[in-house]
């Protein structure tokens, strides 16, 4: 027998349940499906969106150079706007996973933009040959002006922002 007056005999002790966790952790779900969807979307939609923006802009530039008005070519205007909306969609894929905008921006923006800035004039000839008249002129213009590089960097930034905001710890109070 113990001399401790607060000691409880073993038969009188109640089964103690473990204390609940003060901050219950949410169940971790698999991120594989959002990552794959985002990566495929970024890889496949980015060249389509950039091509539409470049083609529409090239058509509008040609019409503007001839008649000083962009309203005379509705196809160019619609193509440009749809391409811009597709680029916005690629950037919004960063909400699923940052992988999509990062892949799309690197593969279709940053790498070709850097290659054009440090590459030779053979690259410009290849752009004209592959892209046809409007797309070739527009792509060469975007490459030489750094617009393709800038678009790629913006998509990479959108993907990084999506990833970093997902990893940031959330506060329990709003104030």
The CA dihedral of 65, 68, 70, 72, to the nearest 10 degrees, is -100
C-alpha span between 145 and 119 (Å, rounded): 14
CA angle 150, 64, 74 (to 5 degrees): 85
Render pLDDT for 38-96 as a digit per residue (tens, 0 to 9): 999 999 999 999 889 988 888 888 887 777 666 677 888 899 999 999 999 999 988 88
Q: Residue 89: is it exposed, middle or buried by C-beta count within 10 angstroms (0-12/13-18/19+)?
A: middle
| Three-class secondary structure of residue 21 per DSSP | coil
Please give the model's pTM, rounded to 2 decimal places. Answer: 0.69
Task: Look at the alpha carbons of 35, 36, 37, 39 in this order and tell me if their dihedral is positive or negative.
Answer: positive
């Amino acid at each position: 027998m113990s001399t401790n007056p607060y000691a409880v005999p073993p038969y009188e002790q109640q089964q103690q349940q473990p204390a609940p966790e003060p901050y219950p952790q949410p169940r971790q779900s698999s991120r594989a499906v959002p990552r794959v969807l985002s990566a495929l979307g970024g890889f496949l939609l980015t060249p389509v969106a950039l091509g539409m923006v470049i083609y529409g802009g090239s058509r509008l530039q040609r019409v503007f150079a001839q008649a000083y008005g962009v309203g005379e070519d509705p196809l160019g205007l619609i193509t440009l706007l749809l391409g811009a909306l597709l680029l916005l969609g690629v950037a919004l894929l960063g909400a699923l996973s940052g992988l999509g905008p990062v892949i799309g921006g690197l593969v279709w923006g940053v790498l070709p933009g850097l290659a054009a800035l440090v590459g030779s004039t053979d690259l410009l000839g290849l752009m004209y040959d592959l892209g046809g008249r409007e797309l070739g002129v527009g792509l060469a213009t975007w490459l030489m002006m750094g617009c393709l590089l800038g678009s790629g960097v913006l998509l990479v930034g959108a993907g990084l922002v999506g990833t970093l905001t997902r990893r940031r710890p959330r506060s329990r109070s709003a104030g």
